[in-house]
Amino acid sequence: MSVFDAHDFDDHEQVTFCHDRNSGLKAVIAIHNTNLGPALGGCRFWPYASESEAIKDVLRLSRGMTYKAALADLQLGGGKAVIIGDPAKDKTVEKLRAFGRFVQRLHGLYITAEDVGTTPKDMITIYEETRYVVGRETHEGGSGDPSVLTAFGVFTGIRACAYYKMGKEDLSGVRVAVEGLGHVGLDLVKRLSEAGASLVVTDINQPLLEKVSRQYGAQAVGVEEIFSADVDVFAPCALGGILNDATIPRLKCQIVAGSANNQLAESYHAKILEKRGILYAPDYLINSGGLINVSYEGPKYNLQEVMTHVGKIYYTLLEIFEAAKAHSITTSEASDCLAKDRFNKK
Protein backbone atom coordinates (compact mmCIF):
# COMPACT_ATOMS: atom_id res chain seq x y z
CA MET A 1 0.00 0.00 0.00
CA SER A 2 1.33 3.43 -0.93
CA VAL A 3 1.26 6.50 1.33
CA PHE A 4 -1.32 8.04 -1.00
CA ASP A 5 -3.67 5.13 -0.30
CA ALA A 6 -3.15 5.23 3.47
CA HIS A 7 -6.29 5.74 5.55
CA ASP A 8 -4.77 8.75 7.30
CA PHE A 9 -3.41 10.47 4.18
CA ASP A 10 -5.24 13.81 4.01
CA ASP A 11 -3.87 15.72 1.03
CA HIS A 12 -0.48 15.97 2.71
CA GLU A 13 1.89 18.18 0.76
CA GLN A 14 5.02 16.14 1.37
CA VAL A 15 6.15 12.96 3.15
CA THR A 16 9.89 12.44 3.46
CA PHE A 17 11.48 9.11 4.41
CA CYS A 18 14.86 9.53 6.07
CA HIS A 19 17.49 6.81 6.34
CA ASP A 20 21.09 7.28 7.42
CA ARG A 21 23.14 4.12 7.11
CA ASN A 22 25.99 5.19 9.40
CA SER A 23 23.84 6.12 12.39
CA GLY A 24 21.01 3.70 11.74
CA LEU A 25 18.45 6.52 11.63
CA LYS A 26 15.02 5.63 10.29
CA ALA A 27 12.63 8.56 10.36
CA VAL A 28 9.63 10.03 8.57
CA ILE A 29 8.80 13.72 8.21
CA ALA A 30 5.25 14.61 7.14
CA ILE A 31 4.20 18.09 6.03
CA HIS A 32 0.44 18.42 5.91
CA ASN A 33 -0.33 22.01 4.95
CA THR A 34 1.70 25.22 4.67
CA ASN A 35 -0.99 27.71 3.61
CA LEU A 36 -0.51 29.79 6.77
CA GLY A 37 3.25 29.37 7.05
CA PRO A 38 6.06 26.82 7.47
CA ALA A 39 5.10 23.49 9.01
CA LEU A 40 6.05 23.33 12.68
CA GLY A 41 5.73 20.15 14.72
CA GLY A 42 7.69 18.04 17.15
CA CYS A 43 9.95 15.08 16.56
CA ARG A 44 8.64 11.92 18.24
CA PHE A 45 11.11 9.11 19.09
CA TRP A 46 9.11 5.92 19.59
CA PRO A 47 9.52 2.12 19.26
CA TYR A 48 6.80 1.59 16.67
CA ALA A 49 5.79 -2.02 16.11
CA SER A 50 6.06 -1.52 12.35
CA GLU A 51 6.90 1.08 9.76
CA SER A 52 3.22 1.26 8.81
CA GLU A 53 2.39 2.25 12.41
CA ALA A 54 5.01 4.99 12.26
CA ILE A 55 3.57 6.30 8.99
CA LYS A 56 0.05 6.25 10.39
CA ASP A 57 1.18 8.22 13.43
CA VAL A 58 3.13 10.85 11.52
CA LEU A 59 0.26 11.42 9.07
CA ARG A 60 -2.29 11.87 11.84
CA LEU A 61 -0.02 14.01 13.99
CA SER A 62 1.01 16.33 11.16
CA ARG A 63 -2.61 16.87 10.16
CA GLY A 64 -3.45 17.72 13.76
CA MET A 65 -0.69 20.31 13.82
CA THR A 66 -2.24 22.18 10.87
CA TYR A 67 -5.56 22.40 12.71
CA LYS A 68 -3.82 23.25 15.97
CA ALA A 69 -1.87 26.15 14.49
CA ALA A 70 -4.98 27.51 12.76
CA LEU A 71 -7.11 27.50 15.91
CA ALA A 72 -4.24 29.03 17.88
CA ASP A 73 -4.12 31.96 15.42
CA LEU A 74 -0.53 31.25 14.40
CA GLN A 75 1.05 31.92 11.02
CA LEU A 76 2.26 28.33 10.84
CA GLY A 77 1.38 25.15 9.03
CA GLY A 78 1.31 21.58 10.26
CA GLY A 79 4.10 19.03 10.22
CA LYS A 80 5.51 16.25 12.35
CA ALA A 81 8.45 13.85 12.44
CA VAL A 82 8.88 10.40 13.92
CA ILE A 83 12.10 8.54 14.58
CA ILE A 84 11.66 4.78 14.85
CA GLY A 85 13.34 3.31 17.93
CA ASP A 86 13.31 3.11 21.71
CA PRO A 87 14.52 6.47 23.05
CA ALA A 88 15.86 4.76 26.18
CA LYS A 89 18.04 2.38 24.16
CA ASP A 90 18.38 3.60 20.60
CA LYS A 91 18.74 7.37 20.87
CA THR A 92 22.24 8.56 19.95
CA VAL A 93 23.86 11.87 19.13
CA GLU A 94 24.66 10.51 15.68
CA LYS A 95 21.00 9.74 14.94
CA LEU A 96 19.83 13.13 16.17
CA ARG A 97 22.42 14.94 14.10
CA ALA A 98 21.55 12.84 11.04
CA PHE A 99 17.91 13.79 11.57
CA GLY A 100 18.96 17.44 11.78
CA ARG A 101 20.64 17.16 8.39
CA PHE A 102 17.42 15.85 6.83
CA VAL A 103 15.49 18.77 8.38
CA GLN A 104 18.07 21.18 6.92
CA ARG A 105 17.52 19.74 3.44
CA LEU A 106 13.90 20.95 3.60
CA HIS A 107 15.20 24.54 3.85
CA GLY A 108 12.65 25.78 6.38
CA LEU A 109 9.56 24.10 4.99
CA TYR A 110 9.52 22.07 8.23
CA ILE A 111 10.60 23.28 11.68
CA THR A 112 11.14 20.61 14.31
CA ALA A 113 10.70 20.66 18.09
CA GLU A 114 10.57 18.45 21.19
CA ASP A 115 7.92 15.72 21.45
CA VAL A 116 7.39 12.32 23.07
CA GLY A 117 10.78 10.65 23.42
CA THR A 118 12.81 13.79 22.75
CA THR A 119 13.92 16.63 25.01
CA PRO A 120 15.07 20.27 24.86
CA LYS A 121 18.62 18.89 25.20
CA ASP A 122 18.06 16.77 22.09
CA MET A 123 16.97 19.92 20.25
CA ILE A 124 20.38 21.42 20.97
CA THR A 125 22.01 18.42 19.29
CA ILE A 126 19.72 18.74 16.27
CA TYR A 127 20.45 22.47 16.17
CA GLU A 128 24.09 21.63 15.45
CA GLU A 129 22.94 20.56 11.97
CA THR A 130 20.02 22.90 11.27
CA ARG A 131 18.65 26.22 12.42
CA TYR A 132 15.10 25.02 11.78
CA VAL A 133 14.48 23.85 15.34
CA VAL A 134 12.73 25.35 18.36
CA GLY A 135 12.24 24.29 21.96
CA ARG A 136 15.89 24.31 22.99
CA GLU A 137 16.89 24.79 26.62
CA THR A 138 16.70 28.37 27.87
CA HIS A 139 20.44 28.76 28.42
CA GLU A 140 20.92 27.81 24.77
CA GLY A 141 18.64 30.58 23.49
CA GLY A 142 15.43 28.56 23.48
CA SER A 143 12.21 28.73 25.47
CA GLY A 144 12.77 25.47 27.30
CA ASP A 145 10.42 22.55 27.81
CA PRO A 146 7.05 23.50 26.23
CA SER A 147 5.14 20.91 28.25
CA VAL A 148 4.56 23.42 31.06
CA LEU A 149 2.62 25.65 28.67
CA THR A 150 0.82 22.64 27.21
CA ALA A 151 -0.34 21.75 30.72
CA PHE A 152 -1.43 25.33 31.35
CA GLY A 153 -3.51 25.22 28.17
CA VAL A 154 -5.15 21.93 29.17
CA PHE A 155 -5.87 23.32 32.64
CA THR A 156 -7.42 26.41 31.04
CA GLY A 157 -9.46 24.18 28.74
CA ILE A 158 -10.75 22.06 31.63
CA ARG A 159 -11.91 25.28 33.31
CA ALA A 160 -13.83 26.23 30.16
CA CYS A 161 -15.42 22.77 29.97
CA ALA A 162 -16.43 22.83 33.63
CA TYR A 163 -18.02 26.24 33.15
CA TYR A 164 -19.93 25.22 30.01
CA LYS A 165 -21.04 21.76 31.16
CA MET A 166 -21.34 22.17 34.92
CA GLY A 167 -21.75 25.92 35.43
CA LYS A 168 -18.64 25.92 37.61
CA GLU A 169 -16.64 29.14 37.85
CA ASP A 170 -13.70 27.25 39.41
CA LEU A 171 -12.50 23.67 39.80
CA SER A 172 -12.92 23.26 43.55
CA GLY A 173 -14.49 19.88 44.23
CA VAL A 174 -14.38 18.84 40.58
CA ARG A 175 -13.21 15.24 40.28
CA VAL A 176 -10.63 14.70 37.53
CA ALA A 177 -9.02 11.48 36.27
CA VAL A 178 -5.59 12.07 34.74
CA GLU A 179 -4.27 9.27 32.53
CA GLY A 180 -0.50 9.55 32.07
CA LEU A 181 1.99 11.30 34.34
CA GLY A 182 4.60 12.50 31.87
CA HIS A 183 5.78 16.11 31.85
CA VAL A 184 2.36 17.46 30.85
CA GLY A 185 0.35 15.14 33.08
CA LEU A 186 2.48 15.92 36.13
CA ASP A 187 2.20 19.67 35.71
CA LEU A 188 -1.54 19.35 35.09
CA VAL A 189 -1.96 17.34 38.31
CA LYS A 190 -0.13 20.08 40.20
CA ARG A 191 -2.34 22.83 38.75
CA LEU A 192 -5.53 20.86 39.36
CA SER A 193 -4.53 20.11 42.95
CA GLU A 194 -3.80 23.78 43.63
CA ALA A 195 -7.22 24.64 42.16
CA GLY A 196 -8.95 22.34 44.65
CA ALA A 197 -9.83 19.49 42.30
CA SER A 198 -10.10 15.91 43.54
CA LEU A 199 -7.77 13.60 41.62
CA VAL A 200 -7.66 10.05 40.29
CA VAL A 201 -4.40 9.19 38.51
CA THR A 202 -2.74 6.36 36.62
CA ASP A 203 0.52 5.63 34.81
CA ILE A 204 2.47 2.59 33.63
CA ASN A 205 5.34 3.72 35.90
CA GLN A 206 4.25 2.29 39.26
CA PRO A 207 6.85 4.05 41.47
CA LEU A 208 5.96 7.39 39.86
CA LEU A 209 2.25 6.68 40.29
CA GLU A 210 2.71 5.97 43.98
CA LYS A 211 4.82 9.11 44.45
CA VAL A 212 2.24 11.36 42.78
CA SER A 213 -0.56 9.75 44.73
CA ARG A 214 1.19 10.51 48.03
CA GLN A 215 2.26 14.02 47.05
CA TYR A 216 -1.16 15.21 45.89
CA GLY A 217 -3.49 12.97 47.86
CA ALA A 218 -4.71 11.45 44.61
CA GLN A 219 -6.38 8.08 44.23
CA ALA A 220 -4.08 5.78 42.25
CA VAL A 221 -5.73 3.22 39.98
CA GLY A 222 -4.63 0.75 37.31
CA VAL A 223 -4.26 1.74 33.66
CA GLU A 224 -7.49 -0.05 32.76
CA GLU A 225 -9.44 1.10 35.83
CA ILE A 226 -9.04 4.78 34.92
CA PHE A 227 -11.71 4.56 32.20
CA SER A 228 -14.45 3.53 34.61
CA ALA A 229 -13.47 5.97 37.37
CA ASP A 230 -16.45 7.90 38.73
CA VAL A 231 -15.29 11.41 37.87
CA ASP A 232 -16.46 14.65 36.29
CA VAL A 233 -13.53 14.98 33.89
CA PHE A 234 -11.39 12.39 32.14
CA ALA A 235 -8.05 13.87 31.03
CA PRO A 236 -6.10 11.59 28.64
CA CYS A 237 -2.45 12.69 28.78
CA ALA A 238 -0.69 9.69 27.26
CA LEU A 239 -0.81 8.35 23.69
CA GLY A 240 -3.59 8.59 21.11
CA GLY A 241 -6.49 6.37 20.09
CA ILE A 242 -7.60 6.15 23.70
CA LEU A 243 -11.27 6.90 22.94
CA ASN A 244 -12.56 3.86 21.09
CA ASP A 245 -15.30 1.24 20.94
CA ALA A 246 -13.94 -0.53 24.01
CA THR A 247 -13.26 2.45 26.29
CA ILE A 248 -16.06 4.95 25.61
CA PRO A 249 -18.86 2.72 27.01
CA ARG A 250 -16.90 2.49 30.28
CA LEU A 251 -16.59 6.25 30.83
CA LYS A 252 -18.54 7.73 33.74
CA CYS A 253 -17.44 11.32 33.20
CA GLN A 254 -19.24 14.40 31.91
CA ILE A 255 -16.19 15.83 30.13
CA VAL A 256 -13.18 14.54 28.18
CA ALA A 257 -10.38 17.11 28.12
CA GLY A 258 -6.72 16.13 28.00
CA SER A 259 -3.38 16.68 26.31
CA ALA A 260 -3.00 13.46 24.29
CA ASN A 261 -2.92 13.85 20.51
CA ASN A 262 -5.47 12.02 18.33
CA GLN A 263 -7.58 10.85 21.26
CA LEU A 264 -10.41 9.67 18.99
CA ALA A 265 -9.49 6.30 17.48
CA GLU A 266 -11.89 7.12 14.61
CA SER A 267 -13.83 10.26 13.77
CA TYR A 268 -17.20 8.61 14.52
CA HIS A 269 -16.22 8.25 18.17
CA ALA A 270 -16.96 11.96 18.62
CA LYS A 271 -20.62 11.19 17.83
CA ILE A 272 -20.68 8.34 20.33
CA LEU A 273 -19.38 10.68 23.04
CA GLU A 274 -22.04 13.24 22.14
CA LYS A 275 -24.81 10.65 22.30
CA ARG A 276 -23.63 9.73 25.77
CA GLY A 277 -23.82 13.38 26.83
CA ILE A 278 -20.06 13.67 27.25
CA LEU A 279 -18.54 17.04 26.30
CA TYR A 280 -15.38 16.55 24.24
CA ALA A 281 -12.67 19.22 24.09
CA PRO A 282 -10.94 18.74 20.70
CA ASP A 283 -7.41 17.63 21.53
CA TYR A 284 -5.55 19.73 18.98
CA LEU A 285 -7.05 22.89 20.46
CA ILE A 286 -6.77 22.19 24.18
CA ASN A 287 -3.17 20.92 23.88
CA SER A 288 -1.88 23.80 21.72
CA GLY A 289 -0.06 25.62 24.55
CA GLY A 290 3.30 24.10 23.72
CA LEU A 291 3.04 25.06 20.06
CA ILE A 292 2.05 28.60 21.00
CA ASN A 293 5.05 28.78 23.34
CA VAL A 294 7.67 27.76 20.77
CA SER A 295 6.12 30.06 18.16
CA TYR A 296 7.18 33.00 20.36
CA GLU A 297 10.74 31.74 20.70
CA GLY A 298 13.41 34.30 19.93
CA PRO A 299 15.30 37.23 21.48
CA LYS A 300 12.03 39.03 22.36
CA TYR A 301 10.44 36.01 24.07
CA ASN A 302 8.03 37.10 26.81
CA LEU A 303 6.44 34.43 29.01
CA GLN A 304 3.54 36.67 30.05
CA GLU A 305 2.62 37.27 26.41
CA VAL A 306 2.73 33.53 25.79
CA MET A 307 0.46 32.77 28.76
CA THR A 308 -2.01 35.43 27.65
CA HIS A 309 -2.14 33.81 24.20
CA VAL A 310 -2.53 30.31 25.67
CA GLY A 311 -5.31 31.62 27.90
CA LYS A 312 -7.41 32.30 24.79
CA ILE A 313 -7.98 28.54 24.53
CA TYR A 314 -10.74 29.11 27.10
CA TYR A 315 -12.75 31.37 24.80
CA THR A 316 -12.09 29.40 21.62
CA LEU A 317 -13.47 26.29 23.30
CA LEU A 318 -16.62 28.13 24.37
CA GLU A 319 -17.01 29.38 20.78
CA ILE A 320 -16.72 25.83 19.46
CA PHE A 321 -19.16 24.42 22.01
CA GLU A 322 -21.75 27.05 21.08
CA ALA A 323 -21.21 26.44 17.35
CA ALA A 324 -21.67 22.68 17.82
CA LYS A 325 -24.91 23.27 19.69
CA ALA A 326 -26.23 25.80 17.16
CA HIS A 327 -25.53 23.57 14.14
CA SER A 328 -26.33 20.22 15.80
CA ILE A 329 -22.87 18.83 15.11
CA THR A 330 -20.17 17.39 17.33
CA THR A 331 -17.57 19.61 18.97
CA SER A 332 -14.97 17.81 16.87
CA GLU A 333 -16.80 18.76 13.67
CA ALA A 334 -17.27 22.35 14.83
CA SER A 335 -13.57 22.59 15.63
CA ASP A 336 -12.57 21.16 12.25
CA CYS A 337 -14.85 23.62 10.44
CA LEU A 338 -13.36 26.63 12.21
CA ALA A 339 -9.79 25.42 11.62
CA LYS A 340 -10.39 24.66 7.93
CA ASP A 341 -11.95 28.07 7.43
CA ARG A 342 -8.76 29.61 8.73
CA PHE A 343 -6.06 27.56 7.01
CA ASN A 344 -7.85 27.32 3.67
CA LYS A 345 -7.93 31.11 3.33
CA LYS A 346 -4.79 31.99 1.42
Q: Are 209 and 203 in contact (CB under 8 A)?
A: yes
Annotated catalytic residue 211:
no
CA 100 – CA 128 distance, rounded (Å): 8
CA 103 – CA 81 distance, rounded (Å): 10
Q: Give me the catalytic one of 56, 80, 95, 165.
A: 80
CA dist 290 to 113, 151, 221, 243, Å?
10, 8, 28, 23
Q: For residue 155, what are the contacts with CB-CB under 8 A and spacing of at least 6?
A: 188, 191, 192, 195
- Count the Cβ atoms, other than its own, within 10 Å of residue 199: 22
For residue 334, give the 3-state DSSP assignment.
Answer: helix
Q: Are 117 and 92 in contact (CB under 8 A)?
A: no
b/e for 286-305, b at 16 or more Cβ within 10 A?
Answer: bbbbbbbbbbbbeeebeeee
For helices 93-105 and 120-127, give the axis angle rounded to 10 degrees.
60
Which amino acid, 279?
L
Count of alpha carbons within 13 angstroms of residue 254, beta-carbon side: 14
| Helix, strand, coil percentages for the chain (3-state, nearest 5) | 45, 15, 40
H-helix or E-strand spanning residue 141: none
Q: For residue 200, what are the contacts with CB-CB under 8 A and spacing of at least 6?
A: 175, 176, 177, 178, 218, 219, 220, 221, 226, 229, 231
337: buried, middle or exposed (CB in 10 Å: 19+, 13-18, 0-12)?
middle
Q: Are 285 and 313 in contact (CB under 8 A)?
A: yes
The catalytic residue positions are: 80
